[in-house]
Amino acid sequence: MQEAVIRKLPSTFVDKIWGVDRLPAPFPHPSQNRIGEVWFAPPDELDELLVKYIFTSERLSVQAHPDDRQAQGMRLGSMGKSECWVILDAEPGATIAVGFRDVITPEEMRASALDGTIVDKLVWHEVRAGDVFYIPAGTVHAIGGGVSLIEIQQNSDITFRLFDYGRPRDLHLDQAVQVATTGPYPEQLRTRMGKDAGLLVDGPHFRLHYWRAQGSVPLPKLGQAPSLLIPFSGEVSFEGETLGAGDCALASAIHDKSVSGDGLLLIAQARY
């Protein structure tokens, strides 16, 4: 049996103009500025994936990301970016946008980005805790205000903004239109955490499971690959390390291992 090593990943707090004035517990608020993201440093053993928390008080920009092939063709020096969102909390009526209501042409997309009507062409989904959206590269998307979520993504920072509500940041219309999917979001890519366990994302770059610990229970048999353990709620213990909401840890192996405590755990693994 492979010995499992676990270590918590260091985090970085990122100021954002659309962030929140006060982070929810258990996070400290380390500055006088609005905090929008908390990033966890990708470990060398699993540097294909990046985990972050996102907290919004306003709508984020409308954007799209390239896939691996497009990023390589654009000579961006990075992999593409597919991601998923796990909703932690949401104010009543809070929404996220993924995909268009109808198929549009690239020319229509550019024109609507310039005049702001792109916001109305997107589908805005009301969200609540436990909702999960897999966002393949190319999907035009935006996060609304009043949302807290966990994002698991390919470790890439390539973002092409189509519309940003007049904020003084650069747009990337040519690149965004080039990589964007022009139709509706596939409904099967949206799911929700149930009572005990399940597979949330089975994409080409990573898988995401969830697992409920009540007492001491064996973890799912997911092979010998390293895993990122991200508590969604409660507190769990694995190999002598206690993890709670706001933590992210690397486990070198979880096969034939058990977790104890009372909490809901996300388990992310890269696809090789």
pLDDT digits (tens, 9 = 90+) for 88-137: 999 999 999 999 999 999 999 999 999 999 999 999 999 999 999 999 99
H or E stretch including 174? helix 173-179
pLDDT of residue 49: 97
**Residue 3 pLDDT level (bands cut at 50, 70, 90):** low
Give tens-digit pLDDT for 19-59. Answer: 999 999 899 999 899 999 999 999 999 999 999 999 999 99
Cβ atoms of 128 and 87 closer than 8 Å: yes
Give tens-digit pLDDT for 171-188. Answer: 999 999 999 999 999 999
What's the pTM value of the predicted model, to 2 decimals? 0.95
Spatial CB neighbours of 4, under 8 Å, sequence gap ≥ 6: 238, 239, 251, 252, 253, 254, 257
Instruction: Give yes or no for residue 267 having a pLDDT over 80.
Output: yes
Average pLDDT rounded to a whole number, residues 253-259:
85
Cβ atoms of 108 and 180 closer than 8 Å: no
| Residue 212 a catalytic site member | no
**Residue 2 pLDDT level (bands cut at 50, 70, 90):** low
Average pLDDT in the chain: 94
pLDDT of residue 5: 84
Which residue is associated with the tokens 């966002």?
A: 135
The span from the CA of 88 to the CA of 148, in Å, is 5
Instruction: Give yes or no for residue 76 having a pLDDT over 90.
Output: no
Of 55, 29, 51, residue with least CA distance to 41: 51
Instruction: Give yes or no for residue 241 having a pLDDT over 60.
Output: yes
**Count of H-run helices and E-run strands, the chain:** 4, 19
pLDDT of residue 219: 86
User: Is the model more confident about 142 or about 252?
Assistant: 142
Average pLDDT rounded to a whole number, residues 232-253:
94
The span from the CA of 40 to the CA of 231, in Å, is 13
pLDDT of residue 210: 95
Percent of the chain beyond pLDDT 90? 84
- Out of 34, 161, 207, 212, pick the active-site residue: 161
User: Is the model more confident about 213 or about 51?
Assistant: 51
Instruction: Give yes or no for residue 81 having a pLDDT over 90.
Output: yes
